[in-house]
């Protein structure tokens, strides 16, 4: 059965947005609201256990800042904080500070030329996806993706499979015809939970994650001049991910 579509996670997969993007934007929002909360690089790694910005703020207060006394309007404050955080994040991306990871632009262009269908499945807010694609990929690149499944369109975020299931349903596509690209344990639980074969490119926050079941675990997608490191999987002697390698992975028995 031919490979028909590629579905990409965003944060950590298309670009390293967490440490120098989302984290910085959360802290800017806390500052704006007069809160003395500060998420340093290490703490943020722990907070990534929970996906979704609003969910992550609740997790922080409940697990790491238990002396904080929630006001009656705490939930509303979280919503307002998250709006501010999205504004800070999209402004930061507009400055063009966060590039796509190695191999991403090349592979997306090749896939598009070859007629593969492209989609996105992410827990982040839709505006954030738009800002990243526009500023770090190409001005019109939102149109490269047939479906952008993002944020609160489904109530239960990764590791639940719902966001991938939603994208597949929208595309009227069976999981067996696609490959997913992820960077985290929550991500692969979600993609594999919806039946998708999944390729992992790790990052500093996800090196110790459990990627059991991944078709391959790589440092990144690689470039002809910048080979990837292989942590697991058969890469057919290649040093970067190209369409032939994707076809090979797709043809492997489950």
Bridge pairing between strands 5-8 and 117-122: parallel
State the binding string over 110-129 for ligand XBP (x if CB under 6 A, else -): ------------xxxx--x-
For position 27 contacting ligand XBP by CB under 6 A, the verdict is no
For position 12 contacting Mg ion by CB under 5 A, the verdict is yes
Catalytic residue status for 162: no
Nearest approach, Cβ of 92 to ligand XBP (angstroms)? 13
- Which pair of structure tokens corresponds to residue 160? 């639940």
For position 11 contacting Mg ion by CB under 5 A, the verdict is yes
Near ligand XBP by CB under 6 A: residue from 9, 162, 185, 242: 9
Q: Which residue, chain included where needed, has tokens 């369409």?
A: 243
Q: Which residue number has the CB closest to ligand XBP? A: 53
CB atoms within 10 A of CB 165: 19
Nearest approach, Cβ of 3 to Mg ion (angstroms)? 22
Q: Is 4 exposed, middle or buried (0-12, 13-18, 19+ CB in 10 A)?
A: middle
CB atoms within 10 A of CB 188: 27
Q: Order across the sheet with 230-232: list the strands.
A: 147-150, 117-122, 5-8, 178-182, 197-201, 216-218, 230-232
Q: Is 161 exposed, middle or buried (0-12, 13-18, 19+ CB in 10 A)?
A: buried
For position 201 contacting ligand XBP by CB under 6 A, the verdict is no
* Residue nearer to ligand XBP on the CB measure, 202 or 235: 202
State the binding string over 141-160 for ligand XBP (x if CB under 6 A, else -): -----------------x--
State the binding string over 174-203 for Mg ion (x if CB under 5 A, else -): ---------xx--x----------------
Catalytic residue status for 11: yes
Rounded-to-10 torsion of CA 66, 61, 33, 41? 110
Which residues are part of the catalytic machinery? 9, 11
Binding residues for ligand XBP (CB under 6 A): 9-12, 18, 22, 51-53, 56, 85, 122-125, 128, 158, 184, 186-187
């Amino acid at each position: 059965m031919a490979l028909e579509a590629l579905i990409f996670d965003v944060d950590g997969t298309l670009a390293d947005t967490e440490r120098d993007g989302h984290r910085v934007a959360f802290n800017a929002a806390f500052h704006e609201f007069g809160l003395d909360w500060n998420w340093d690089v290490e703490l943020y790694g722990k907070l990534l256990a929970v996906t979704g910005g609003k969910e992550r703020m609740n997790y922080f207060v409940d697990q790491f800042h238990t002396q904080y006394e929630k006001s009656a309007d705490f939930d509303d404050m979280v919503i307002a904080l998250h709006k501010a955080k999205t504004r800070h994040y999209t402004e930061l991306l507009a400055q063009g500070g966060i590039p796509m990871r190695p191999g991403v632009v090349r592979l997306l262009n090749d896939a598009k030329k070859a007629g593969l269908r492209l989609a996105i499945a992410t827990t982040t807010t839709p505006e954030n996806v738009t800002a990243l694609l526009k500023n770090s990929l190409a001005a019109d690149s939102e149109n490269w993706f047939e479906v952008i499944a993002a944020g609160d369109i489904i109530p239960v975020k990764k590791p639940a499979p719902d966001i991938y299931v939603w994208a597949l349903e929208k595309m009227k596509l069976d999981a067996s015809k696609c490959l997913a690209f992820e960077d985290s344990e929550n991500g692969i639980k979600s993609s594999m939970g919806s039946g998708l074969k999944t390729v992992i490119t790790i990052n500093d926050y996800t090196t110790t994650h459990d990627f059991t079941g991944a078709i391959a675990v790589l440092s990144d997608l690689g470039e002809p001049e910048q080979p990837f490191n292989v942590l697991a999987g058969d890469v057919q002697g290649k040093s970067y991910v190209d369409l032939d390698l994707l076809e090979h992975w797709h043809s492997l028995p489950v």
